């Protein structure tokens, strides 16, 4: 199952339940050429052409419980909790 944030569809994911961290990637996970932090403290990974290839979401479950959705400034998105339901259900 893929997860869509803004216009980016991540088709690979791994959730660390203990750390409450979600690792997302477009295609197979790979080493980024550059990583930028979002204002919320998440990380966005880019390839050498500047394409988004991955994202790291910290405190996913806590943010969903507190805000009822995941709010990200870049890429700008309000992601409903249903988008993450399969990831969090598998971790339970």
pLDDT score of 91 more than 90: no
Span 37-51, pLDDT tens digits: 999 999 999 999 999
**pTM, rounded to two decimals:** 0.86
The C-alpha atoms of residue 20 and residue 70 are separated, in whole angstroms, by: 13
Q: What is the DSSP string of 13-41?
A: EEEETTTTEEEEESSS----SEEEE-TTS
Total structural domains within the chain: 1
Decide if 38 contacts 28 (C-beta within 8 A): no
The C-alpha atoms of residue 51 and residue 55 are separated, in whole angstroms, by: 12
Residue 66: give the domain boundaries.
3-91
The C-alpha atoms of residue 48 and residue 8 are separated, in whole angstroms, by: 17
Token pair belonging to 42: 């998440």
- Within 8 A by CB and 6+ apart from 63, the residues are 57, 70, 71
State the pLDDT confidence band at 3, using cuts at 50, 70 and 90: very high
The C-alpha atoms of residue 62 and residue 25 are separated, in whole angstroms, by: 21
pLDDT score of 74 more than 80: no
């Amino acid at each position: 199952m893929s997860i869509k944030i803004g216009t980016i569809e991540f088709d690979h994911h791994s959730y660390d339940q203990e750390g409450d961290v979600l690792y997302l990637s477009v295609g197979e996970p790979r080493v980024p050429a550059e990583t930028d932090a979002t204002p919320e403290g998440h990380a966005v990974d880019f390839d050498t052409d500047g394409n988004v290839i991955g994202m790291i979401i910290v405190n996913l479950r806590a943010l969903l419980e507190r805000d009822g959705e995941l709010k990200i400034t870049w890429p700008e998105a309000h992601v409903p909790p249903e988008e993450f339901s399969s990831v969090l259900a598998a971790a339970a």
